[in-house]
Amino acid sequence: MKIAVGSDHGGLQVKDAVIALLAGRGHEVIDAGTNGTASVDYPDFGEKVAEMVSRGEADQGVLACGTGIGMSIVANKFPGIRAALVTDEFMARMSREHNNANILVLGGRVVTPETAVELVAAWLDAAFEGGRHQARLDKIAVLEKQACGGAGA
């Protein structure tokens, strides 16, 4: 699976830990930056990852900034993106099982790199349940098309 990963300076340690996990699991990782501790603007990196997932250039994505809130807002502006900000393993699993989240968002100042790895592992190991949850995602796709003229979820 091809997974794009990006962060700003506040999520850099989380990003690096996540990349190590993904590579260790045999995934093809696209590192969308940042790669330093200098202050940068999170929308620039959220855009890169969300665009890759939205266009099908990556199967999934992981984003991190200080709280994860900014990256979530950015990512969810793109057609077909279902970015979920999570802080525990239950949320990570549910974001896949019920919402089929295609981008996981983490807060580098909220969770440790070790916890971030556990959250990503839980997300990757979960599977979308479909059924009534698909019907709900279909409704979201209709809303997205009506509001934004997007391609849908």
Q: Which residue has the tokens 């809130």?
A: 69
DSSP-based three-state secondary structure for 8: coil
Q: Which of 9, 27, 65, 148 is catalytic?
A: 65
List the one residue out of 123, 148, 153 whose CA is nearest residue 135: 153
* Residue 9 annotated among the catalytic residues of the structure: no
The CA distance from 111 to 39, in Å, is 19
Catalytic residue, chosen from 9, 98, 133, 148, is 98
Using CA atoms, how far apart are residues 66 and 64, in angstroms rounded to an integer?
7
In the structure encoding, which two tokens stand for residue 56, read together? Answer: 């099908």
Q: Are 28 and 19 in contact (CB under 8 A)?
A: no
Rounded to an integer, what distance in angstroms lies between the CA atom of residue 2 and that of residue 113? Answer: 21
> Is 98 considered catalytic here?
yes
User: What residues contact 126, with CB distance under 8 A and at least 6 apart?
Assistant: 92, 93, 94, 95, 96, 97
Catalytic residues: 65, 98
